[in-house]
Amino acid sequence: MKNINFYLPLIALLSISQVFAQRVLTLEESKQLALQNNCKIKNSSLEIEAAQQTKKAAFTNFFPSISASGAMFKAQKDLLEISTQGGNLPVYDGKDLSTLSTATQFAYMPASTMGLLKSGTFGIITVVQPIFAGGRIWNGNRLASLGEDVSEYKNRLSQNEVILKTEEQYWLVVSLNEKNKTIQRYEELLNSLRAQVEDAYTSGIVMKNDMLKVKLKRSEILLNKSKLENGRKLATMAFCQYIGIPFDSTLVLKDSLAVNDLPETYYVDHAEALNNRSEYHLLQASVRAEELQSNMKFGEYLPQAAVGVSELYMKIDESKDRTLGMVFGTVSIPISGWWEASHTLQERSIKEKIAQNNLQDNSELLMLQMQKAWQDFSDAYKQVLLSEEAKAQAEENLKVNQDSYTNGMISVADLLEAQALQQQMNDQVTDAKASYRSKQITYLQVTGRQ
């Protein structure tokens, strides 16, 4: 007895600690965890950073380009040799140069050879500032800025996808929990009915066949309960993996499937909502990108102008080192390129029209998608109302059959059928509410509000 008194408080303490150890998650907390931990979101954020670096790199083209080069050489022998022949040279008397041709005195000069360029050092630094590049620098920066916008739109699409899947998995787990409660209540009804039938059988009121039917139905429920529990565990594991947390069998999802709002409270004008869609902005960006690429291609066939300065250092053989500076300007005109340009620019114009056609066509598809999402959302609400009405009827039907069975007016089989119908209607309400939640978030997303 003393041992029992010792273990009871310990068991109670462990039970209380387990309750406090349970992790409780709301839908919003689950979505935040998914956005923080999902690999696709992480990669999408990295793509934004990469686009930002590309934009910064394009901006540097506005500044002068600086280059430096140098060279040293040392040859096995002189690269250049200058030879002079020997001979007598007239002597200048210091008075009249015209007398050199009739000079009578000469000085002998021996033959000689002089070598040059056996070693040398060169270095040059050049700074070039583009003055006009056909608009390619400006359009290149605009294209890089557009690339950053595109990466942000794609990031929003990735977030929408993650949020939608998180909601679907969240409500799946919640609905399975609700079905588990339903089957437990059904099991309690069967256990109560089983006790009644066994007492009636012992008293000889009912046949053994009635008792066997109840036991068979109970075995069926136990099997379904086991399948449901396995499915609930797998769904919870998938949910935990998706939002990036360890699996916890005691995880509690706080939000309920209650439907309190009418779909009309969420309706918006679809034409106005189109401007909030990231897909629509991506289509617009595609058109703009084709236009900028056409401008850049056109710039390749325009004159290019630049100015620059350079500094040259050189030292050859044993001579003194020298430093030379110069200022220069360059102009390049692609004259023969205009033959090619007439065809290339027509190609670019065709691609612009293709992008504009895609914008028009896909915009219409986006409008249809919003309309379909609205219809699905409205229909899901109607299914909730119909399923709740059917549930109420099933509960009333069970009550009537329970009273009739008690009064001996119907068989056990009729009562079992009424109980099974009630469980089916309860599960149908749960599925309808889960579908409503899924259609709700889908409609919010396709109208650009998530």
d(CA 291, CA 139) in angstroms, rounded, equals 10
Which residues in 58-81 are b (16+ Cβ under 10 Å) and which e?
beeeeeeeeeeeeeeeeeeeeeee
Is the residue at 79 inside a domain? no
Helix (H, G, I), strand (E, B) or coil at 306: strand
**Which structural domain range is residue 358 located in?**
22-66+132-304+335-446
Q: How far is CA 1 from CA 4, 11, 17, 198, 402, in A?
A: 5, 15, 25, 36, 44
Is the residue at 386 inside a domain? yes
CA neighbor of 419 nearest in space, from 223, 191, 195: 191
d(CA 203, CA 194) in angstroms, rounded, equals 14
Q: What is the CATH number of the domain that holds 163?
A: 1.20.1600.10
- pLDDT at residue number 277: 94
Determine the straight-line distance between the first and last CA of the chain, rounded to whole angstroms. Answer: 61
Q: Is 133 exposed, middle or buried (0-12, 13-18, 19+ CB in 10 A)?
A: buried
The number of folded domains in the chain is 1
Q: Tokens in use for 44? A: 């999408």
Is the residue at 206 inside a domain? yes
- pLDDT at residue number 18: 47
- 50-82 pLDDT tens trace: 999 999 999 999 999 999 999 998 888 776 777
- 261-292 pLDDT tens trace: 899 999 999 999 999 999 999 999 999 999 99
What residue spans of 300-326 are helical by DSSP H?
Answer: none
- 388-407 pLDDT tens trace: 999 999 999 999 999 998 88
Is the residue at 187 inside a domain? yes
| Backbone phi and psi for residue 301, each to the nearest 5 degrees, phi listed first | -100, 10
The gap from C-alpha 361 to its chain's centroid, in whole angstroms, comes to 24
- pLDDT at residue number 1: 46
Dmax (CA) of the chain: 167
Highest mean pLDDT among 14-18, 87-91, 420-424: 420-424
> Using N-to-C axis directions, what is the helix angle for 208-243 and 412-446, rounded to 10°?
20
- 131-158 pLDDT tens trace: 998 899 999 999 999 999 999 999 999 9
Q: How far is CA 279 from CA 90, 144, 154, 219, 348, in A?
A: 95, 19, 8, 52, 23
Q: Which residues pair with 109 in a beta bridge?
A: 87
CA neighbor of 45 nearest in space, from 161, 159, 162, 166: 159
- 2-33 pLDDT tens trace: 454 544 454 444 444 444 467 899 999 999 99
- pLDDT at residue number 174: 96
d(CA 174, CA 254) in angstroms, rounded, equals 9
Is the residue at 99 inside a domain? no
The gap from C-alpha 197 to its chain's centroid, in whole angstroms, comes to 61
Is the residue at 430 inside a domain? yes
Is the residue at 296 inside a domain? yes
Q: Which residue has the higher pLDDT, 180 or 98?
A: 180
> Using N-to-C axis directions, what is the helix angle for 208-243 and 27-37, rounded to 10°?
50
Residues counted in the chain:
450
Is the residue at 101 inside a domain? no
- Checking if the pLDDT of 113 tops 70, the result is no
Which residues in 27-55 are b (16+ Cβ under 10 Å) and which e?
beebbebbbeebeebeebbebbeebbebb
